[in-house]
Amino acid sequence: MSRVLVVGESWFTYSVHQKGFDAFYTSEYVEGAGVFLDALRSRGHEVTYVPSHEIAHRVPGSAGGFAAYDVVVISDVGANSFQLAPETFGRSIPTPDRSELVRSFVEGGGGLLMVGGYLSFSGIDAKARWGRSPLAAALPVTILDRDDRVELPAGAEPKVVYAHEIVSTLDGVWPTLLGLNEVTAKEGATVLAECGGHPLLVVGAHGAGRSAAFTSDVAPHWAPPGFLAWDGYADLWDRLVRWLAGGL
């Protein structure tokens, strides 16, 4: 099976509790990729998970480092985390641009999947800024240069719109999602599924490799419990990863 590097889907939360005159503070660390990681591992894929705050130290800093993987998945973490290592930001020391290294990985035959979220594609307040990174060239979608969130609080059912081996075993309509990132498919790319009238799953090629964009999330809030419990959830990610790795 495939060797998969999954990056992102973690965050720190700092809360202020105001109770009348007094206030106190709590903090929490959360990893949101558990169901997604379990789904891939249940199908035999070898998965390495790197939380968002460990990117500068654990995501390869050289092209050769990516030879250990067949597919790279980036989920809900912005381009700054790939481009601004602590040495560069804090001490003005040049360091590799990891977004460019991932682009080169795809050009050389690797697979890339970007998953949506508040810090994917363009993201909330356009802070994810992937469209201004070298990696944008490897994606099968064009990223908008603004806040690209499409909130669907009433829910919308994804629909398969193109017959493809990735989705051939799945139902034509999938469980409800609550939002996604707005993108446009590049020329030559293929939209396999839509949600709320927007591209949801888009696949394409770059150089010798393959890439995909899933514009909603793999976890709440955009992916509610019903989507995570869907009997097609593991099949979707398994088949997508295998296709990205050159299989199927």
Domain parsing of the chain, residue ranges: 3-244
Among candidate residues 41, 46, 219, the one with its CA nearest the CA of residue 120: 219
pLDDT classification of 248: cutoffs 50, 70, 90: confident
Q: Please state, as a whole number, how many other Cβ atoms lie within 10 Å of the Cβ of residue 41.
A: 15
Sheet holding 46-50, edge to edge: 46-50, 3-8, 71-75, 111-115, 209-214, 198-206, 190-195, 159-160
Q: Residue 17, exposed/middle/buried by CB under 10 A (0-12, 13-18, 19+)?
A: exposed
pLDDT classification of 135: cutoffs 50, 70, 90: very high
pLDDT in tens, 52-111: 999 999 999 999 999 999 999 999 999 999 999 999 999 999 999 999 999 999 999 999
User: What gap in Å lies between CA 74 and CA 77, rounded to an integer?
Assistant: 7
User: What gap in Å lies between CA 60 and CA 57, rounded to an integer?
Assistant: 8
pLDDT classification of 144: cutoffs 50, 70, 90: very high
Name the class of domain 3-244: alpha beta
C-alpha 142 chain-centroid distance: 15
> pLDDT at position 89, please?
97
Q: Would the CA dihedral through 93, 94, 99, 101 be positive or negative?
A: negative
User: What gap in Å lies between CA 221 and CA 233, rounded to an integer?
Assistant: 16
Give DSSP secondary structure letters for 132-187: GSGGGGGSSEEEPSS--EEEEEEEE--EE-S--TTTTTS-SB---EEEEE-EEEPT
C-alpha 17 chain-centroid distance: 32
User: Where do the H-state alpha helices sit in the chain?
Assistant: 34-42, 55-58, 80-83, 86-91, 98-107, 225-228, 233-244
Q: What's the predicted TM-score (pTM) here?
A: 0.97
User: What gap in Å lies between CA 132 and CA 145, rounded to an integer?
Assistant: 8
pLDDT over threshold 90, residue 240: yes
User: What gap in Å lies between CA 29 and CA 17, rounded to an integer?
Assistant: 17
Query: Contact, 114 vs 121, CB < 8 A?
Result: yes
Range 107-124 average pLDDT: 98
Query: Contact, 98 vs 82, CB < 8 A?
Result: yes
